[in-house]
Every structure is written in C-alpha cells, then in structure tokens.
Structure 1
Amino acid sequence: MPLFREGVAAVVRRTPTMHWLGATGHLHTAVRLHERLRPDVLLVDSVLDPQGHLATLLTGAASSTLAVVSLVREPHRTAKFVRAALAAGVRGLVPRDGQIGEVLHAITRTHADGTYLDPTLAPLAAGFTPAAEAGSRRSLSRREYEVLQLIADGMENQAVANELYVSVETVRTHVKNILRKLRARDRTHAVSLAYQAGLLSGGGARPV
C-alpha cells in the first residue's frame, strides 16, 4: 500500500545512516529505478515479487552487490516461499507486519553482513542450500528480460538482434528460454503472461 511505503520512507529518512532513493509499486518500474539510482539495498514486498523474478533480474550479474530484503506477508510465511526467495537472490527476510525497528534492523544487517533472516522466519529456511534450489529456478535472466521487453514492443528476432548487437540465433535461444520459463505457448502468450505477472509495465502487479 502507498501509505505503508510512505511510512517506511519517512522513518528511513530520519535514520542518519540511511538514505531513501525512491519507491514504486510495479516490477518494471523497479528495474528502471535500480538502473538509474543503483541502491545498496532494495526493500521488496513479497506480494510484489512472489516468484523472485525481480530479485533474480537485479542480482544475477556477477558484479552485483545489491542486497534485496523481502518484506514477507503472512500468506508467504512458508518454507516454499522463503527457500525460493533465497534461491532467487534475496538476502534478507523480515515479516512485513513487524515493528519498523525490525525492518530497519533487517536492512542494516543485510547490508553489513550480506544476509539476514528474522528469527521467526529462519526455521523455514532449515536445510536450504543454493545448489539444491537452483534446479527449480525459472526466473528470467537480465538478457532474457531485455529480449522480452523488445518482443513486447513488437520487434521480430532480427530487429531484436540488431538492437542488442547479438546474432539472430542468440535471440532465438533467448526466446526459447523465455517460453520455457514462463510456460508460454508462443511469443504473444509470453508477453501476455509477463504483463499479468507485472514483469512488463501495464501488468497486474499490485502495489507495496
């Protein structure tokens, strides 16, 4: 909810060691904001990124130092969600309905230590290993996301290849991966599913 975002923003702005850069309620805009502002920490409501698409996109690069902290809502307080979030690149998890001090603590610890699990969520991650979860990850890579955006703009494979300075065969491979990961029948279906998931602007992502 916008009111919740404004409340967190107000508290962060009053915290000497933190600096608030911005907020949005949509995945597509979040990617754009990250590219422009390059924050150290990204605070994400679990309802906005339930499948870890955003976390994977923004932390997938080897050079990425972004620390993603998930505000976990009650319906997502499950071992399945927690493990999937960690596998997607989330490094901090804290209940959304907790005290604001707990959220600030999660931000600080995740940024400083690289990882943080709220004591109430830690048991849900018991036995988690990145290798074990890797096979189940279906989130798009950053390049696949770029290809998907261009497809949504109506570009054919050759035009996409020209735009990204890659071969047409490389684009075809990306398209195949996109269709597989999104379980789409064809390109049009993939774009439709991406809008519904909020991966593309104008989709059905719900605000934080």
Structure 2
Amino acid sequence: MTHSMDRGRPGPALGAAGTRALTVAALDPVPIFREGLNALISRTPGLRWVGYATNHHASLQLCEQLRPNIVIVDSGFDPHCHLIRLLSDGDPTLVIVVLVREAQRTAQFLSTAVSAGAHGVLLRSAEPRRLAEAIRRAHVDRRYIDPSLAALTARPKRQPPTTNGQAMSAAHRPQMPLSRREYQVLQLVAEGLENSAIAKVLFLSVETVRTHVKSILRKLSAKDRTHAVTTAFRSGILIAKADDSLGASREVLSPPVQNGPT
C-alpha cells in the first residue's frame, strides 16, 4: 500500500513553490518508523514523500510503478542485500539509502550493500537532520557513508576464519540466482498464494506465473513449491520478518492502473 501515486519519473517532481522536489519512498516493515520517515520527508524542503512498502514483492512493484527518485531501505528488511541488488539492476538511476540496524553494523554488510548498489548508508538511529543530509548527499554525490560507519568501511576485506564460523558464513553468502520477477513470485508462493492469486497481485497471466514457478524450481533444484520455499529460506534468498515487524500486516501495492509491467 502506498500513500500516493505517480505515473512515471521523467525527473524530480515539482514542489509547491515550483522548485524541483526529490520523491522519496520507504521500504520498511515497522509502522511507527515509517510514520516518522513520512513526517521527516514531508517537512524537509526539496523532498516529497510518495509512499512505502512492507514486503519485498510490494517493494519491487512500488519502484516499478511509482518510480521514486530515492528509496530508504531498512537493513533488517534486506540483510543479504538481495532486494537492493534487484532494485539497482532494475533502475540504475534510483538512489538507494540504507538505514543500518545494530545487527547489520558490520564491515561485511556494508561492503555487500555498497557492492549491491546502495548509494548511502547510515545508522537507523541517526538524527533526523543527518538523514535528510544523507539523502541529499547520496543523490548529488551518489555516495554517502555515515561518519560513525566510516571505520568499518575502511577495514581490510580479508578476515581470518573464526571458531564460530561467522567470517566463513559471510564469505560464502549466497548470490541471488533468481530474476526480479521470479523473486516476487517466490515471495508470494512462500506466503501461500496459488498461481491465480499471484497473477492478480502481480498483474500477470496465470500462464506467465506458471512459467516463473517452473523456472524457480529449476534454478533452486527443487522438487515442488514447498521444497523451493524451504531451500530459499535455508540459503538466505528469503528471510523471516525482523523481530520488531511481527505485528506489521502484509501490505501489497494496489495501484489504480490495472495493466502493470510484465
């Protein structure tokens, strides 16, 4: 679900005074945090809030249909940076700013996020003024690193193996084998939707969905849909909701336009 709709993005939107305003959306599962971002963006000159998404397939739909200039992504929402990579590959002009939780405050995550296509990274606990600055800097310079995270980005990439396997597991983090649309379909399969329901959500034909499901099974070497979902969770392609998002409802982008992209 989003708060407003834009049909395209030829450039930044016109603000109330005729100046160019950058459109901003949030990909975050926590309602109170989204409301805070909405309030901050809405009162910041030069920025305009266009909406939010609370799961991965809705995030991809939002960026396809609203085409914001900037998206703010919760690191706990995308700890393996699969969504960031798909968004970046789908729209190279999109500016992606990641808000980093303590759990992802590591050199490995920051390196993965930047290589996946993130333009700005800062702490999720940053002051509102710092976030507004990060958004502008990321848009203008295409790179912004929170000073409190700079030391982590400067660390050597090579790390010795540890007894608990942390460094080893990070080094072998799985790549994203699925396409953008296959990832959306798999998300909905994991939520228990049948092909006909998935087709309605993604504005596709049932036959197209069936083709995507077959491709997912082949790429994940899965026997059936349940096996594919299990494999995806075990390999990190799919993730469980962050702890503080358990109370958030599943929201799907519902645009008035019925002929969405295929």
TM-score normalised per structure 1: 0.73
Whose helix proportion is higher, 1 or 2?
1
RMSD of equivalent CA atoms: 3.6
Match of 2:150 among 122, 127, 133: 122
User: What residue number does 2:175 align with?
Assistant: 138
User: What residue number does 2:15 align with?
Assistant: none
Match of 1:87 among 106, 109, 115: 115
User: What residue number does 2:132 align with?
Assistant: 104
How far the C-alpha of 1:141 sits from its partner, in A, is 3.1
User: What residue number does 2:241 align with?
Assistant: 205
Larger Rg: 2
Match of 2:208 among 158, 163, 170: 163
Separation of aligned partners in 1, 2:102 and 2:130: 16
How far the C-alpha of 1:194 sits from its partner, in A, is 5.2
Q: Is the 1:57–1:142 Cα contact (8 Å) retained in structure 2?
A: yes
User: What residue number does 2:200 align with?
Assistant: none
Residue identity opposite 1:20 in structure 2: W
How far the C-alpha of 1:28 sits from its partner, in A, is 2.1
How far the C-alpha of 1:25 sits from its partner, in A, is 2.5
Q: 1:84 to 1:112 in 2, by over 3 A?
A: same
Q: Is the 1:27–1:54 Cα contact (8 Å) retained in structure 2?
A: yes
- Cα displacement string for residues 99-153 of structure 1 (whole angstroms, at most 9, x for unaligned residues): 011111111111111111111112222256xxxx999551243144256368765
Q: 1:154 to 1:3 in 2, by over 3 A?
A: closer
In structure 1, the gaps of 5 or more residues are none
Q: Is the 2:75–2:104 Cα contact (8 Å) retained in structure 1?
A: yes
User: What residue number does 1:70 align with?
Assistant: 98
Q: 1:185 to 1:93 in 2, by over 3 A?
A: farther
* Helix, strand or coil at the partner of 1:21: strand
Q: Is the 1:56–1:141 Cα contact (8 Å) retained in structure 2?
A: no
Separation of aligned partners in 1, 2:32 and 2:77: 15
User: What residue number does 2:82 align with?
Assistant: 53
How far the C-alpha of 1:49 sits from its partner, in A, is 0.8
- Cα displacement string for residues 30-55 of structure 1 (whole angstroms, at most 9, x for unaligned residues): 12211221111110111111111211
- Cα displacement string for residues 4-59 of structure 1 (whole angstroms, at most 9, x for unaligned residues): 21112111101120010112322222122112211111101111111112111111
Separation of aligned partners in 2, 1:149 and 1:2: 21
